[in-house]
Amino acid sequence: MKTSIPGENLSVAMVTRELLDLIMKQPEVERARLLTELHPDIQQQTESGALLNVTTALIDAVMKLTIKERCRILGELKANSVSTMRKYSRIEFFSPIQYVVNERLSHGFIRSISVSGLFLENPHYSGPELFPGQAVKMIFDHPHTKMHLKIQGKIIRITKAGLGIRFDEKI
């Protein structure tokens, strides 16, 4: 099932899966905070005095949200957690890159890079639909040594500006 949001073509299932995956990575305290944000009137205890299962209640709440609300919360969670998820610092690095996805050669530009991944900018990609987890083969010059690299990775994030790619092996 696809739904239309101005300028984008989003899959409800993909957004929901990514949102729930990110929620499950949050500490219990953060899940409880998010549940309270979504349902300020919710009671943390049932009438019998038993504690409410926050995770179950949060999943139920997410499933009742519209696609726009899910996207908004997903964006907020990503923005708040990206700095804590990153193990290696990134450097700004603008360089051309050739890459292959779905056996289709494309060209783009690296916008930032770390030892474990890069952000690939390509506003003119016209191939088949891309999705997180897809394999990518890349050819580019190392930012420090200038050596020609051939490396493989996987798409981990897709935005209007480009692709977040994690290398299979650190460079």
Return the closest-CA partner of residue 151 out of 116, 104, 106.
116
Reported as a single tens digit per residue, the pLDDT across 64-106 is: 999 999 988 888 887 766 555 556 777 888 999 999 998 889 9
Residues 71-74: contacts with CB within 8 Å, 24+ apart? 71/5, 71/10, 71/15, 73/19, 73/34, 74/15, 74/18, 74/19, 74/22
pLDDT in tens, 145-164: 889 999 999 999 888 888 99
Can you give the pTM of this predicted structure?
0.51
